[in-house]
Structure 1
Amino acid sequence: MPVAAVNDIEINYRLEGDGPETIVLVNGLADDLTTWDYQVPALLEAGYRVLRFDNRGVGRTSKPAGAYTSRMLADDTKALVDRLGVTDFHLMGTSMGGMIAQEYAINHGADLRSLVLSCTYAEPGPFCSRLFKGWEELAPVKGVPFIMREVTLWAFTQDFFETRPADLAEFETEMAAMPWPVEAYLSQLNVIQRHDTTDRLPGITVPTLVQAGEEDILIPVRLSRRLCEAIPDAEWATTRGGHACLWEHPQEFNAALLQFLTKHRRADSPAG
Structure 2
Amino acid sequence: MRIARLKNADIHWREDGDPDGAPIVFANSLGTDLRLWDSVIERLPKDGHRYIRFDKRGHGLSSCPPAPYSITELVDDLEGLLKQIGVTRFAFIGLSIGGMIGQLLAHRHPDRVTCMVLACTAVKMGTPEMWQDRIKSIQTGGLESLADAVMDRWFSGPFRHSDECLAWRHMLTRTPAEGYIGCSAALAAADLSATTTSLSLPALGIAGSQDLASPPEQVRATTDLIAGSRFIEIPDAGHLPCVEQPDLFTAHVQKFLEESAHV
Give the TM-score normalised by structure 2: 0.92
Report the equivalent of 1:37: 38
Show the counterpart of 1:139: 138
Report SS of the residue matched to 2:109: helix
The aligned counterpart of 1:77 is 78
Gaps of 5+ in 1: none
Provide the residue aligned with 2:113 in structure 1: 112
Question: Would the aligned equivalents of 1:43 and 1:50 in 2 still touch at CA under 8 Å?
Answer: no
Listed as ranges, the matches of 1:19-168 within 5 Å are 20-45=21-46, 47-124=48-125, 126=127, 129=128, 131-161=130-160, 164-168=161-165
Return the letter of the residue paired with 1:49: R
- How far residue 49 of structure 1 moved from its aligned partner, in angstroms, is 0.9
CA distance in 1, matches of 2:162, 2:132: 29
- Given that 2:31 and 2:175 are in contact with CA atoms closer than 8 Å, whether structure 1 keeps it comes out as no
The superposition leaves residues 214-263 of structure 1 with CA deviations (integer Å, 9 ceiling, x where unpaired) of: 22111122211110111112111111211111111111111111110111
Change (3 A) 1:184 1:145: same
Distance 1:185 1:171, change over 3 A: closer
Query: CA contact under 8 A between 1:71 and 1:104: conserved in structure 2?
Result: no
* Structure 1 contact 29–95 (Cα < 8 Å) conserved: yes
- Deviation of 1:149 after TM superposition, in Å, equals 4.2
Partner of 1:171: 168
Query: 2: CA distance between counterparts of 1:80 and 1:124?
Result: 25
SS at structure 2 position matched to 1:73 = helix
Counterpart-to-counterpart distance in 1, 2:41 and 2:117: 15
For structure 2, list consecutive stretches of 5 or more residues without a partner in the other structure.
none
Alignment CA distance shift 1:209-1:41 (3 Å): same
- How far is the alpha carbon of 1:191 from its aligned partner? 1.9
For residues 190 and 139 of structure 1, the distance between their equivalents in structure 2, rounded to whole angstroms, comes to 12
- Tell me the equivalent position of 1:227: 222
- Indicate if the aligned counterparts of 1:214 and 1:221 stay in contact, CA closer than 8 A: yes
Instruction: Note the C-alpha offset of 1:96.
Output: 0.6
Give the Cα–Cα distance (whole angstroms) in 2 for the partners of residues 36 and 217 of structure 1. Answer: 20
Does the residue aligned with 2:134 lie in a helix, a strand or coil? helix
Whole-Å Cα distance in 1 between the matches of residues 257 and 38 of structure 2?
Answer: 18
2:258 equivalent among 255, 259, 262: 262
Q: Shift in Å at residue 179 of structure 1?
A: 5.0
Report the CA distance shift for 1:251/1:186 in structure 2 as closer, same or farther (over 3 A): same
User: Structure 1: how far apart are the matches of 2:210 and 2:37?
Assistant: 20
User: Structure 1 235/104 Cα, relative in aligned 2: closer, same or farther at 3 Å?
Assistant: same
State, as a whole percentage, how many aligned pairs show the same letter.
Answer: 27
Amino acid at match of 2:243: W
Call closer, same or farther: CA 1:175–1:186 in 2, change over 3 Å: closer
Equivalent residue letter for 2:4: A
In the alignment, what sits opposite 2:182? 187
Q: Which amino acid aligns with 2:205?
A: V
Query: Structure 2: how far apart are the matches of 1:26 and 1:52?
Result: 6
- CA distance in 2: counterparts of 1:44 and 1:2, whole angstroms: 23
CA drift at 1:60: 1.6
Task: Supply the distance in 1 between the matched residues of 2:170 and 2:8 (Cα, whole angstroms).
Answer: 33
Paired position in structure 1 for 2:14: 14
Q: Which amino acid in 2 is paired with 1:168?
A: C
Task: Report which stretch shifted further, 246-255 or 167-176.
Answer: 167-176
CA-atom RMSD in angstroms: 1.8
Q: Which amino acid aligns with 1:85?
A: G
Question: What TM-score comes out, normalization by structure 1 length?
Answer: 0.89
- Deviation, structure 1 residue 104: 0.3
Q: Does 1:248 align with 2:244?
A: yes
